[in-house]
Structure 1
Amino acid sequence: MIMHMIKALFQTMRPRQWTKNAFVLAALVFDRQLTNVPATLRTLLGFMLFCLVSGVVYILNDIADAEADRHHPQKRLRPIASGALPIPVARAAAIGLIVLTIPFAFYLSIGFGVILSGYFLLNLAYTRWFKHIPILDVLIIAAGFVLRVAGGVSLIQVERFSPWLYVVTTLLALYIGFGKRRAELTELADQANTHRRVLDGYTLPFLDQSITIVSSSTIIAYSLYTFSAPNLPSNHLMMLTIPFVLYGILRYLYLVQVEGSGGAPEDLLLTDRPLQITILLWGIAVLVIFYAFPVK
């Protein structure tokens, strides 16, 4: 019985979603400190703490949405909605995890503790209010990604981390967020607002235009970063990574608008082979360029 509830609790924390917390590693990689063992260990600890706190957020979100989830074709199978994980147990686990993680975050770094606490409070506000407000709901999601990057910066002694990466992170998160809303609106059709109230404030034309704006802006911002950031090789090799970003954005757009996917972006990341290959090749290219060539 206990093992069954632990399994249900772990499932509720959505480990498949923890890939988003990889943004904590951005400062480590793009500040050329991947070979710095102490900085790497601190960043990995920060990644783990973000995973635990984001897991707590999902627990609290499922508690708040339990009744609505019971009427959703897929979400009704979630542990809390299905009754496999009792709400009092889930609430106690969430409180316990927060009591453990936040103090340890401050131990790692005061700045990191503040950022992680802010991330948690922002998500509480999102669960309570902002998730029901069109546009603002996606902006809050994007802010969560920026806080992940900022958290990684606060954990190491940053030397030349480019502000352009905050811009790219924001735009990319908005792009994925609007894509997710479009997929949900298409999948649930006329019953969309009964499953996620905020969808009543969106239309497909508006979401398509929003996706066009942020996807174009993401490509432009990333392109500007590749030849204007202060810590890049003098031969502008970083510009060779632009095609990978361009294909990745177009591939996600194809999956959302043609394949009707995108309601769960983390599933696409874990299942779509072309997207995985693109991200892998981009990652390899970035590592080679950053760590094999001198800074300009």
Structure 2
Amino acid sequence: MPQIQQTESGTAQLMPLCVDLDGTLVKSDTLIDSLLVLARTHPLLLLRLPGMAFRGKAPFKAFVTENVALDVAHLPYNRKLLQFLQQENARGRQIYLATGADTQLARRVADHLGFFHQVLASDGTHNLTGSRKLLSLRQSLGGIDFAYIGNDTPDLPVMAGAAESMVANPSRRLRTKLRAQGIVPSRAFEERSQPLNSLVKALRPHQWAKNLLVLLPPLLAHNHSVRLFASALLAFFCFCAAASGTYLVNDLLDIEADRRSPKKRLRPFASGDLAPSIGLVAIVLLLVIGFAAAQFLPAAFSFWLLVYVGSTLFYSFYLKRIALVDVVVLSGLYTLRLLAGGAATTTPISHWLAGFAIFLFLSLAIVKRFAELESLRMSGTQLKNGRGYLMSDIEQIRAFGTASAFAAVVVFANYISSQDVTTLYHHPQRLWLIVPFMVLWLCRVWLLAARGELDEDPVAFALTDAASLVMGVAVAIIVLLAI
């Protein structure tokens, strides 16, 4: 379709270009993004949403926008489309933002990008979508031809009335209806990953390594029963399902904060590659599957799984923003896996294992937080993660973490010296060879964190790092020699 049209005076000018916001210029839905931020920052206001929805879509959008100042600078813009719009603006083409989003948000987006000639949006009374958007565009443009870029079926009336239609990450429904009406888009701006791949990434399967802790109680008790091992594997499966569900909750609530992070902005929800609606369905399914499978294990396991999920959700909604409390809770979640593994296999947890786990996992939780702060400090990025920490806390956090690491070593050394170890090992003195490997690994983790080279959970890191695996094999050999 032609981009140039003749004016009444006979001069040629570029046809006005109109673009939708949600799902088009931005890969996500800004209303859903705002609702997620509202759930995290003002959860009590969620109680007012049903009443506002009853008043209509436009008042509902206005209410949400008034209570949430969405960070428009870090929205997941469609970069291909954004580059095209910037090029067209440089050519002197008038560009209009025509969106069903509330006008307050739409104007903030327009002000940030700086190339829109005019903004047409919902005004708190009228919801500017479909035919109403088409009418508004015709009135604003004086009836002249225009080009329009959309992404879903609500854009269909506007695309049918436009002289030129383009699409950005079009839905399957829109493609089907465009073909049915004989509308052929002149350009397509595709920038998204496959939903299935994005969902798998959001489940964080690499983090399932932490759930291997449920296998430790029967292994450390030297109980090699096939039945108990099968129970431990089922417990591992339950924790993987439940943990992935809580990861999705965490990512949805942190969607805006993640977009400000150089690394976390690539997460599926933050990047706009995965729709929150898919995440909500997946959360329900994963939790149902996890707790349904738990019914085949002792009731005590279901209790610990429930405590884990409840603690994780409370952490995601509130506790993660309280300095030090967050790392204590994280270390507790590691220890919960041990308790759940003991419950699933009816294996008692010794006071030695409990004490060792508390100090070790506290150190690993702190090193994770330390690594995040160190990475921000080295990159010169301003601290905006809402964790409750200051950049000046970094040395004190290092002290807390390293002290806890060596406390774990001391507990292990005392265990080796106790009478309890003689009931499980014929050569307990050989276990002393494990101590230098523990010290080496913990010091290495903290050294990498100080260098800004530890960019993942330390437990998951241990299962992918070559040096850690070598030390792990060495420790396993020592344990076998001590039995």
Amino acid in structure 1 at the alignment position of 2:448: L
* Shift, 1:234, TM fit: 4.4
**Percent identical across equivalent pairs?**
28
1:41 is aligned to 2:230: yes
Report whether the alignment pairs 1:120 with 2:312. Answer: no
Match of 2:409 in 1: 219
Runs of 4+ in 1 over 6 A off after TM superposition: none
Q: How big is the shift at 1:280? A: 2.0
Instruction: Find the structure with the greater CA-based Rg.
Output: 2
Aligned with residue 432 of structure 2, among 205, 220, 239: 239
Structure 1 length-normalised TM: 0.90
- The counterpart of 1:272, out of the listed 457, 460, 465, is 465
* Corresponding residue to 2:214 among 1, 24, 27: 24
Matches within 5 A, 1:84-99: 84-99=273-288
- 1:102-117 to 2 correspondences below 5 Å: 102-117=291-306
Deviations 1:160-201 (A, max 9, x none): x52211111111111111111111111112535313533338
Q: Of residues 454, 457, 461 in structure 2, which corresponds to 1:262?
A: 454
Contact 2:242 2:286 (8 Å CA) reproduced? yes
Q: Is 97-106 or 166-175 further displaced after alignment?
A: 97-106
Following TM superposition, by how much is the alpha carbon of 1:86 offset from its aligned partner in structure 2, in angstroms? 0.4
Matched AA of 1:232: L
Question: Does the residue aligned with 2:350 lie in a helix, a strand or coil?
Answer: coil
Residues 123-272 of structure 1 correspond to what in structure 2 (within 5 A)? 123-158=312-347, 161-189=349-377, 191=381, 193-200=383-390, 203-228=393-418, 229-230=420-421, 231-236=423-428, 237-257=430-450, 259-264=451-456, 265-266=458-459, 268-272=461-465
Q: Give the whole-Å Cα distance in 2 for the aligned partners of 1:81 and 1:60.
A: 13
Instruction: From the two aligned structures, give the one with the greater strand fraction.
Output: 2
Inter-CA distance 142–54: structure 2 relative to 1 (3 Å threshold) = same
Unpaired runs of at least 5, structure 1: none
> How far apart are the structure 1 equivalents of 2:401 and 2:471?
20
Question: What is the CA–CA distance in structure 2 between the aligned matches of 1:201 and 1:170, rounded to whole Å?
Answer: 26
Residue type of the alignment partner of 1:205: E
* TM-score (norm: length of structure 2): 0.56
- Inter-partner Cα distance in structure 2 for 1:284 and 1:106: 36
Q: 2:272 is matched with which residue: 61, 64, 83?
A: 83
The alpha-carbon deviation at position 202 of structure 1 amounts to 6.2
Equivalent residue letter for 2:433: L
Between the two proteins, the alignment pairs up a number of residues equal to 287
How far does residue 266 in structure 1 lie from its aligned partner after superposition? 4.7
Question: What is the alpha-carbon distance in structure 2 between the residues aligned to residue 154 and residue 288 of structure 1?
Answer: 29
Q: Pairwise CA RMSD of aligned residues? A: 2.1
- The whole-number CA distance in structure 2 between the counterparts of 1:185 and 1:282 is 31
| Distance change >3 Å, CA 243–CA 232, structure 1 → 2 | farther
The aligned runs of 1:275-286 (5 Å cut-off) are: 275-286=468-479
Distance 1:43 1:278, change over 3 A: same
| CA distance 1:270–1:104, shift in 2 (3 Å) | closer
Counterpart-to-counterpart distance in 1, 2:374 and 2:434: 32
- Structure 2 residues not aligned, in runs of 5+: 1-170, 173-192
Contact 2:209 2:463 in 1 (8 A): no
Q: Are residues 123 and 201 of structure 1, via their aligned partners in 2, closer, same or farther at CA, if it must alter by over 3 Å?
A: farther
Write 1 or 2 for the structure with the bigger share of helix.
1
Q: 2:183 maps to which residue?
A: none
CA deviation after TM superposition for structure 1 residue 240, in Å:
2.6
Report the more deviating stretch, 81-90 or 220-229. Answer: 220-229
The verdict on how the C-alpha distance between 1:244 and 1:116 changes in structure 2, with shifts beyond 3 A counting, is: same
The superposition leaves residues 198-255 of structure 1 with CA deviations (integer Å, 9 ceiling, x where unpaired) of 3338612211210232012011011112232354324323223222212111221221
Rate the CA distance shift 1:104–1:168 in 2: closer, same or farther, 3 A: same
Q: 2: CA distance between counterparts of 1:16 and 1:132? A: 25
